[in-house]
Amino acid sequence: MSHATHANAALTPRARLRLARLIVDHGWPPARAAERYDVSWRTAKKWADRYRLEGPAGMVDRSSAPHHQPNRTPAPMVRKIVHLRWKQRLGPVEIADRLGMQSSTVYAVLRRCRLNRLTHIDRATGEPIRRYEHEHPGDLIHVDVKKLGRVPDGGGWRYVGRQQGEKNRSATVARTGTPRTKWRNPVIGTCYLHTVIDDHSRVAYVEARDDETKETAAEVLKNAVAWFAERGVTVQRVLSDNGSCYKSNHWKQTCADLGITPRKTRPYRPQTNGKIERFHRTLAEGWAFKKFYNSESARLAALPAWVHEYNHHRPHSAIGKQPPITRLDNLAGHHT
């Protein structure tokens, strides 16, 4: 295994090779070669001996870890530590107490196994996070609906406080005449954001609608497919959860008409659609609740600009800190 040469090393791997070749291939005495490269004769002899045994491959740094570690945590104990971390998400102190060990030893094992942070494992199942990404834009798109309470005239409670927020909601209800029924939002209703994310590029498409019926979901899918087609992307598959609008025959027929294969996530397993779930969090933090809006229309008016910023300018940490649009490599002009 190759290791980077430390900052104070007298010789780089390339210089070591030249030094060794002077001694082995050209017959220089180690002391003379050492003087030329300003190192001790012992150092010169060491690299010459390694060159005789291993050739050029022996010129790289070796690990400083000892070959034998009698005090290393036994493998059966490591398995117990990993099991408690995965299955019960216990911390080093709790694991150490159960196993009768030092917590520092447990933490060292967790670091070595890359389980020292719970972000490395799925919190719901305790299993290692399995990430996937389709190779080309359009191979798979994720669809979902994000529900947000509408902003009443005058602003919502997040910015004006609970008391004033309730007054604003009641005043908006009186003005709009929104019915107060048991099964509907008793104030001013819900905004349904139909979101679409391309699996490979993370390019997003968003439409704000008044419902999440099968007809609306199918219409949004058609619009999204056309939007991606304008950008040179042909959609092959669509992944959705098991919501009623996505289980309908109307949705299946729409996918068939578009030449798209519909897929469903595993029930009660939203992590399968994790890319769009994460986008919803970015959407809420970056647009929906980022600043004060004095009405729902004001917030919706800001949505297109935010989506454009997300697609074209915002660096995305999962794709090398580049904007998602840069991954649409079939856009016009990308190969000229």
Which DSSP letter does residue 205 get? E
Q: Which two tokens stand for residue 12?
A: 């780089």
Global pTM reads 0.58
- Which residue stretches of 75-184 are H helix? 75-88, 92-99, 103-112, 157-160, 162-176
Rg from Cα positions in the chain? 30
DSSP state of 290: T
Cα 303 to Cα 61, 97, 261, 310: the distances in Å are 54, 51, 29, 11
Q: Distance between CA 2 and CA 114 in Å, rounded?
A: 21
For residues 168 and 180, give the distance between their C-alpha atoms in angstroms, rounded to a whole number. 16
Q: Are 330 and 322 in contact (CB under 8 A)?
A: no
Q: For residue 18, what pLDDT is reported? A: 92
Read off the tokens for 95: 């694991």
Distance (Å, whole) CA 37 – CA 18: 10
The predicted pLDDT at position 185 comes to 44
pLDDT of residue 131: 62
* Distance of alpha carbon 157 from alpha carbon 84, whole angstroms: 42
Predicted local distance difference test score (pLDDT) of residue 113: 86
Residue whose pair of structure tokens reads 């900052």 in the numeric block: 7
At residue 119's C-alpha, the angle toward residues 117 and 122, to 5°, is 120
Alpha-carbon span 182 to 194, nearest angstrom: 24
Which CATH number is 141-150+189-327's, of 3.10.20.310, 3.40.50.1980, 3.30.420.10, 3.40.50.2300? 3.30.420.10
Q: Residue 6: which H helix or E strand, with range?
A: none
In angstroms, the Cα distances linking 162 to 5, 133, 190, 289, 297 are 61, 43, 19, 15, 21
Tens-binned pLDDT, residue by residue, of the chain (336 aa) = 445 566 667 788 899 999 999 999 999 999 999 999 999 999 999 999 999 999 998 888 887 777 777 888 889 999 999 888 877 778 888 899 899 999 999 999 998 888 887 665 555 555 555 566 777 899 999 999 999 888 777 766 666 676 766 766 666 665 666 554 444 444 457 889 999 999 999 999 999 998 899 999 999 999 999 999 999 999 999 999 888 999 999 999 999 999 999 998 877 666 677 888 889 999 998 898 888 888 888 899 999 999 999 999 988 888 888 899 998 865 544 433
Residue 319: φ, ψ to 5°: -125, 40
